[in-house]
Amino acid sequence: MSEYIEEYELLLENVPHSVTVELLLERALLESLGGQLELAKRTDADVTVRRTDRLKMTFAVLDGTETYIDIPYPSAEDRRFGFIEVRNPTVAAELDDVFDELWTDATPVE
């Protein structure tokens, strides 16, 4: 999970203050972040974190137009093999709807 932790840190250290970020994390990743959750509180951007047990893979939707879908490593759940970048508004809208459903049912992290 170290690569996810590094990405989390880079995102929050470099996100512009005018950006809104909604991070939906599954329990194991959230627990591995530990004290680094404080980065979300210290950034000038509008960052909200929620936890869910329903997330089976990692994906990102940017501005409703681009989608990044992680490909897990075949023999290790906590490693990423790579990701697919999809620049299709229809796919982005579908995954945005999935995110919204998961987000609604997720638990806020303080």
- 10 to each of 40, 53, 84, 109, how far by Cα in Å? 11, 24, 20, 20
- List of domains in the chain: 2-108 (3.30.870.10)
How does pLDDT run across 38-91, given as a tens digit for each residue? Answer: 888 888 889 999 999 998 888 888 888 899 998 988 898 778 888 999 999 999
DSSP classification of residue 35 = G
How does pLDDT run across 8-53, given as a tens digit for each residue? Answer: 888 888 889 898 999 998 888 888 888 788 888 888 889 999 999 9
Q: What tokens appear for 54 in the block?
A: 């329903």
Structural contact between residues 24 and 103, judged by C-beta atoms closer than 8 angstroms: yes
Q: What tokens appear for 66 in the block?
A: 């681009």
